[in-house]
């Protein structure tokens, strides 16, 4: 045992019913980090796990991709069919993992459910993710490789091409999810991305409806829109973009009337709240009413990297959405503010994000 594990062990030995948050306050670590440490002590045999009771009723369960991301950015305008000078950066990513880290930094208790290879890539992801989320529900699979995503960015930071090796997520089956019911049943909200197989998404839709747990579904790409479940009545909120929506409905959007029609079309399939992003231009959000929001523009030289924009918007929107006293204006403003600041740094999840900082930034964003 290391020093922190020894301290946690002594606290549990003295009070087997101590809460994870109480341990976190004493040790000076986050609650998810303590959860991971306790799981490690159980696996090592120091704790039998019989008396230790954890209340997870306030957790957000995120189901989906946890990848290693490689970003390659050209130093000049991209020229096809020839060699281009670039800079490169490796980090951790995956839509639901990114959303989970943002939520963890904003103070939410988060559990990540995913699958990964039993490899150095997953060890790297786990090490950097564990301070912000409980990663013990991630299943490692021998013979599989952890998901990887490579983004080619032009010199303005806009994505030119994305390459995804996501075959490992085919193993995130309903059977795997059913074995995580102890996490799912006690969730205050389930967030799921479309990197998961269709049958698994349908399983979670059925589970969420049965247990009356709010389900937020996040689309990830146009090809994966075929994974959209047939019955969307369990989906409390859908967060998607124009390209993905057009691919799903096999249509084009040109006028404001087209946009209003398409969000109502989503709702006719059972979705309660629809959030439709139109790149760096505007957000259309619909519950009973349809709301339009213009996105604040940045100069090209202020943009470092846009790849974290969608996930940072989604996470801050969800964080606000879970506060019943907040309005749609509050949700979208939180999302736009987080995205606005995220694209000005090179990290997919900005390292300075806290709840207090975001609240201050929201005030500034609103007043500018």
Find residue 69's DSSP bridge partners: 91, 149
Instruction: Give the whole-angstrom CA distance, residue 120 versus residue 204.
Output: 29
Spatial contact of 182 and 207, defined as CB atoms under 8 Å apart:
no
- pLDDT 10s per residue in the chain (368 long)? 788 888 998 888 888 778 888 898 999 998 888 888 888 888 777 776 655 545 555 899 999 999 998 889 999 999 999 999 999 988 899 999 999 999 999 999 999 999 999 999 999 999 999 999 999 999 999 999 999 989 899 988 888 998 989 899 999 999 999 999 989 988 999 999 999 999 999 999 999 999 999 999 999 999 999 999 999 999 999 999 999 999 999 999 999 999 999 999 999 999 999 999 998 889 999 999 999 999 988 877 788 878 889 999 999 999 999 999 999 999 999 999 999 999 999 888 999 999 999 999 999 998 87
Give me the CATH code for the 56-367 domain, please: 3.40.1190.20
DSSP letters, 255-316, are SHHHHHHHHHHHHHTT-SEEEEEETTTEEEEESSSEEEEEPPP--GGG-S--TTHHHHHHHH
DSSP letters, 124-147, are HHHHHHTTTSB-TTPEEETT-PPP
In this structure, what token pair is assigned to residue 121?
A: 């890539």
Over the range 80-108, which residues count as b (16 or more CB within 10 Å of their CB) and which as e? Answer: eeeebeeeeeebbbbbbbbbbbbbbbbeb
Instruction: Give the whole-angstrom CA distance, residue 331 versus residue 326.
Output: 7
Name the residue ranges covered by the structural domains of the chain.
17-55, 56-367
pTM value? 0.82
- Other C-beta atoms closer than 10 Å to the C-beta of 351 total 7
């Amino acid at each position: 045992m290391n020093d922190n594990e020894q301290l946690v062990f002594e606290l549990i030995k003295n009070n087997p019913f101590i809460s994870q948050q109480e341990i976190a306050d004493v040790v000076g670590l986050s609650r998810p980090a303590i959860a991971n440490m306790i799981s490690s002590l159980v696996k090592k045999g120091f704790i039998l796990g019989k008396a230790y009771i954890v209340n997870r009723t306030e957790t957000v369960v995120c189901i989906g991709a946890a990848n290693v991301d490689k970003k390659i950015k050209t130093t000049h305008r991209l020229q096809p069919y020839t060699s281009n000078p670039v800079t490169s950066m490796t980090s951790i990513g995956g839509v639901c993992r990114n959303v989970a880290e943002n939520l963890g930094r904003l103070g939410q208790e988060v559990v990540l459910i995913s699958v990964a290879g039993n490899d150095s890539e997953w060890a790297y992801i786990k090490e950097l993710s564990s301070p912000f989320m409980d990663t013990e529900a991630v299943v490692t699979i021998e013979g599989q490789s952890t998901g990887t995503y490579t983004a080619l960015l032009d010199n303005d930071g806009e994505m030119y091409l994305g390459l995804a090796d996501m075959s490992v997520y085919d193993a995130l089956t309903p059977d795997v999810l059913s074995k995580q019911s102890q996490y799912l049943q006690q969730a205050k909200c389930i967030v799921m991305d479309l990197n998961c197989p269709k049958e698994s998404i349908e399983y979670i839709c059925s589970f969420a409806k049965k247990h009356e747990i709010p389900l937020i579904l996040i689309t990830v790409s146009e090809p994966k829109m075929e994974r959209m479940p047939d019955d969307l009545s369990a989906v409390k909120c859908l967060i998607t973009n124009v390209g993905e929506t057009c691919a799903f409905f096999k249509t084009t959007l040109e006028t404001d009337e087209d946009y209003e029609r398409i969000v109502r079309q989503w709702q006719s399939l059972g979705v309660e709240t629809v959030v439709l992003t139109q790149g760096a231009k505007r957000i259309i959000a619909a519950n009973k009413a349809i709301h339009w929001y213009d996105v604040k523009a940045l100069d090209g030289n202020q943009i470092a990297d846009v790849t974290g924009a969608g996930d940072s918007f989604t996470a801050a929107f969800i964080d606000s959405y879970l506060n019943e006293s907040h309005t749609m204006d509050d949700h979208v403003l939180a999302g736009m503010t987080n995205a606005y600041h995220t694209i000005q740094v090179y990290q997919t999840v900005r390292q300075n994000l806290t709840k207090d900082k975001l609240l201050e930034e929201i005030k500034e964003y609103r007043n500018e």
